[in-house]
Amino acid sequence: MANAKSVHEVTYDLLRELGLTTVFGNPGSTEQTFLSEFPDDFTYVLGLQEASVVAMADGFAQSTGKPALVNVHTAAGTGNATGSLVAAYKGNTPLIVTAGQQTREMVLCEPYLSNPDETVFPQPWVKWAYQPARAEDVPAAFMRAYVLALQPPAGPVYLSIPLDDWERPALGPAAIRTASHRVSPDVERLRGFAERINGAQRPALVFGPEVDRSGAWDAAVAFAEKVGAPVYSGPLPDRASFPEDHRLFQGQLPMTIGGVSEVLRDHDVVVVIGAQVFRYYPYVAGDYLPEGTELLQITADPRLTGAAPVGDSLLGDVLPALEQLVDMVDDHSDRQVPAAQASTSQIDLTGSAPLTADAVWSTLSTVKPADSPLVTESTSTLAQQARFLPSTRPASFFATASGGIGWGVPAAVGIALGDRARGVKRTVLATIGDGSFQYSVQAIWTAAQHRLPIVFVVMRNEEYSILKSFAVLEKTPGVPGLDLPGLDIASLALGFGCRAVNVDSTEKLAHEFTNALSADGPTVIVVPTKPQPIHLG
């Protein structure tokens, strides 16, 4: 055993084989034994707080379509990371999150900065949490973590590794394994679904984030066109899954039980593909489905088949499901589908500050390059985004899957890093509320250090605007803590090393946005905006 490789060497060999050569992290004393002798062909992406570290890795994995590797500091770092883990779990992002642990010699007596109950702490937001029973098991534990992270439904996994494991002799080279990334649907049941779709008079389709994630955008279009049915997006999507300028597209379903039921009233069969039934948010009572409407669901996630309150479900990856289903359904491509009702609300394009949400989004629609992906976390202006900047391409729309804010800024950074890693040149547009901008603000430092092509447009309405609309819905006057005075966001951005500019008119917004497109690094554009009250019921 004198010349045996160390656990450190064998693990790095394995990570290299698996293509996991980018480590997103924030280091501590318990991680330095892993990071020691960091190989030249690996990249360490430093995030200044763990919420940013994990959400950057999430964006990176979503851009590259591959798992990403994270390293955080024992219990304290895991705690900071947890909000972002929730989003990765809900968004089916394959992440291998590692954390250091105090040395095995001392761990029983709970030294400073140890991670007791290390496999319990990240639950339930990881698919698997493990601390190897022996140092020699570390490489194989990584292999198992990789397989589990990718296997449907994909998601984060967690490894806690005692700091003294890395220098121990390894058992030998790690066994490299593969596992399937897709689980095919049961064909018999798919045929049954096809028959019910063929028997429908007025079917409707609802597509959700799994469609885009599984590369099924074109398959969804082909299926919808053959069925000749109106298409909705599930509520609060974290990815767009259908061209939102397509003649069949009707918009997003409402976020409430009552609202969804109302919209689906005229349909006899509703087919939900790659989405939860449904991602409800405010409680507005009603029937889950209108009388006489049947619901069919196809998803790769057994939690979502379980959570559906109504309907019949089929478990399986949506790409093979759509590819098979399209050959099983009758051709109704000539069925008349009325175009979506365009919003009739008046557009307020007030040209000087504070700008309306309409003015900001319509201006962005005139200057955003067609290939720029949109990352959005501007909670009170979802309607303006849908109206002025619909998604028309795959892998071009990203939002938090959990509803926790503080995901958008670091995710935009990760997406830009992922684009660069796979050789794609495009500028990321991140539209962020002034409240949401603060939660993981330090991610913009990473963007500046890597000179990433990102334009952050921060809507400075000086409040948590959506929560004021919730106060109306919930009839809760007098809630404190909803105003945000005294934040100089451009100065913050400058302090983190970004270009930053305040704009006070639509012309200046357009001008600065265009300048930012050719800048060598990220720009933060701060736009004073009028609060945007919305009707949530």
Ligand X SMILES: Cc1ncc(C[n+]2csc(CCOP(=O)(O)OP(=O)(O)O)c2C)c(N)n1
Residue ranges that bind ligand X, judged by CB under 6 A: 83, 378-381, 403-406, 433-436, 461, 463-467
- Using rule CB under 5 A, residue 252 touches Mg ion: no
Q: Which is nearer to Mg ion, 312 or 462 (CB)?
A: 462
Q: Beta strand pairing status for 231-233 and 203-207? A: parallel
- With contacts defined by CB under 5 A, name the span among 158-166, 167-175, 338-346, 430-438 that binds Mg ion: 430-438
Q: Which is nearer to ligand X, 64 or 276 (CB)?
A: 276
CB 447 within 8 A of CB 435: no
Q: Which is nearer to ligand X, 340 or 467 (CB)?
A: 467
CB of 352 to ligand X, least distance (A): 20
Residue 312's alpha-carbon distances to 163, 196, 325, in angstroms, are 49, 11, 16
- Using rule CB under 5 A, residue 394 touches Mg ion: no
d(CA 52, CA 411): 8
Find the residue with minimal CB distance to ligand X.
433
CB of 128 to ligand X, least distance (A): 25
Q: Which is nearer to ligand X, 59 or 83 (CB)?
A: 83
Q: Which does 467 bind (CB under 5 to 8 A by kind): Mg ion, ligand X, none?
A: ligand X
- Using rule CB under 5 A, residue 433 touches Mg ion: yes
One residue of 75, 434, 499, 530 binding Mg ion per CB under 5 A: 434
Q: Which does 427 bind (CB under 5 to 8 A by kind): Mg ion, ligand X, none?
A: none
CB of 376 to Mg ion, least distance (A): 13
CB of 438 to ligand X, least distance (A): 8
- Using rule CB under 5 A, residue 461 touches Mg ion: yes
DSSP string, 271-329: EEESS-S----S-----SS-TT-EEEEEES-HHHHHH-SSSEEEES-HHHHHHHHHHHS
Q: Can you read off the two tokens belonging to residue 398? A: 């990203």
Report angle CA 153, 26, 457 to the nearest 5 degrees: 75
CB of 68 to ligand X, least distance (A): 21
Q: Which is nearer to Mg ion, 381 or 446 (CB)?
A: 381
499-502: strand order across its sheet: 397-398, 374-377, 428-433, 454-460, 523-528, 499-502
d(CA 80, CA 146): 23
- With contacts defined by CB under 5 A, name the span among 48-56, 366-374, 457-465, 467-475 that binds Mg ion: 457-465
One residue of 435, 453, 522, 528 binding Mg ion per CB under 5 A: 435
The closest of 415, 416, 497 to 449, measured between CA atoms, is 497
Report angle CA 46, 62, 314 to the nearest 5 degrees: 145
CB of 54 to ligand X, least distance (A): 13
d(CA 27, CA 7): 19
Interface residue list for Mg ion (CB under 5 A) = 433-435, 461, 465
